[in-house]
Structure 1
């Protein structure tokens, strides 16, 4: 039996960053937020998570963002959302 996580961290990172040097993905993010399960299912068919101006449908098994809005707007080209477990250090 698998349980759906109640929260994730979403990192929005630029696609064009080829060499981060010693910077972590977290340090390269232009935006990061903890999102929590809303109990709703999004139009994509996956659970919806929201928090800090981000609303996202996330596949909890693959940790893939299937749909996302930042402050009510679509994600700009060149930006990629990444998902991390909220308890990941």
Structure 2
């Protein structure tokens, strides 16, 4: 069994810049945050990650964000979130 990643980068992207095939350029993100595994499980049943004002339940196998709060609030309409590998320090 593979160990889930301990860090991800969350990118908040306006929906209008995401292509029809789901692609986008990371530089189009209006906000990004590196989140780290908290060791907790979210209400969604997936591991919880947190950092830089972002709390997310992420399925590490598919990189699907199952729940997300940015500064304690849900995303506004017209925004979407993507998961990327966290930058190396």
TMscore range, shorter length: 0.7 to 0.9
Moved over 4 A (4+): none
Q: How does 1:24-39 map onto structure 2 within 5 Å?
A: 25-39=25-39
TM-score, structure 2 as length reference: 0.88
When the two structures are aligned, how many residues end up with a matched partner?
A: 84
TM-score, structure 1 as length reference: 0.88
Q: Deviations over 1:30-56 (max 9, x none)?
A: 000100000000000000000000000
**Structure 2: gaps of 5 or more residues:** none
- Paired with 2:14 and 2:46, the residues of 1 have a C-alpha distance of 24
- Paired with 1:78 and 1:43, the residues of 2 have a C-alpha distance of 24
- Paired with 1:4 and 1:69, the residues of 2 have a C-alpha distance of 21
The structure-2 alpha-carbon separation of the partners of 1:43 and 1:2, relative to structure 1 and needing over 3 Å to count, comes to same
Q: How does 1:1-89 map onto structure 2 within 5 Å?
A: 1-17=1-17, 25-87=25-87
- Paired with 2:5 and 2:25, the residues of 1 have a C-alpha distance of 22
Q: For 1:74, what is the secondary structure of its paired residue?
A: coil
- Paired with 1:79 and 1:18, the residues of 2 have a C-alpha distance of 10
